[in-house]
Structure 1
Amino acid sequence: LRDLGVLPSFSRPRVSNDNAYAEALFRTAKYCSRWPGLPFGSLDEARVWVMEFAAWYNNEHRHSALKYVTPAQRHGRQDAAALKQREQVYEAAQRGNPERWARGVRSWKLPGHVYLNRERDAQQQAG
């Protein structure tokens, strides 16, 4: 693996190229309806599939960590409008049928910034 430039992982917390992140992405790919039923016929066929998967993942797949907006919506700053509309739909549903709601409407707010190593970044800024 080292000859191919693959670095070994020692399960470092909150590191984007660690095994847990790779496993989560692989699970998303594997359970995607686009997952091929048969092995790829060629390297080019595999590359085309990966490019199509990446486009789907970024532009169509709604991520739970992003309150079910797509990465493209988040990066294009379209997430706030989509989440505001969703919040209004939920509030209207609650008003229309309040007995179905034990608690208030869930928060559809996303944080302003997303961090991978927030603790480390905070330590570096303090030091």
Structure 2
Amino acid sequence: MNAHAPLPAASNEIIKLAVLAVGGQGGGVLTKWIADLATRGRYAVQMTSVAGVAQRTGATIYYVEMAPRSERLPVFALSPAPGDLDVLIAAELMEAGRAVLRGFVTPGIAPRLSRRPTASWPSPRNRCPVMAAQRAH
């Protein structure tokens, strides 16, 4: 297993995370859990989503930006920009492929793929592979 460099949490940088999931796969639930944990960890957090149509544009993109709380409020984006994600989670291989086509997975982001259902994914019905990627800093 490869060791990853830590996310930019040690500094005041904004951490940018996207979850790609089709309806019923729990992407919204997972995103809410992530935002709740970040808030409890004293991070400023913003969640947004861009709805997709599975047969045409793919998954809904749930987007979270977070930064350690400080005297200055961070300026968050409303949607992810290609090549600018720190963490990407895709609920199935098709969405992982669409993430690559959209430019979300770049040489600077290290993909990890699970080919078996995981208990940690919110939907017990999810039988699809899960792809997660983290930026190598």
Higher Cα Rg, which structure: 1
Higher strand share: 2
Structure number with the bigger relative contact order (C-alpha 8 A, sep ≥ 6) is: 2
TM-score (norm 2): 0.22
TM-score (norm 1): 0.23
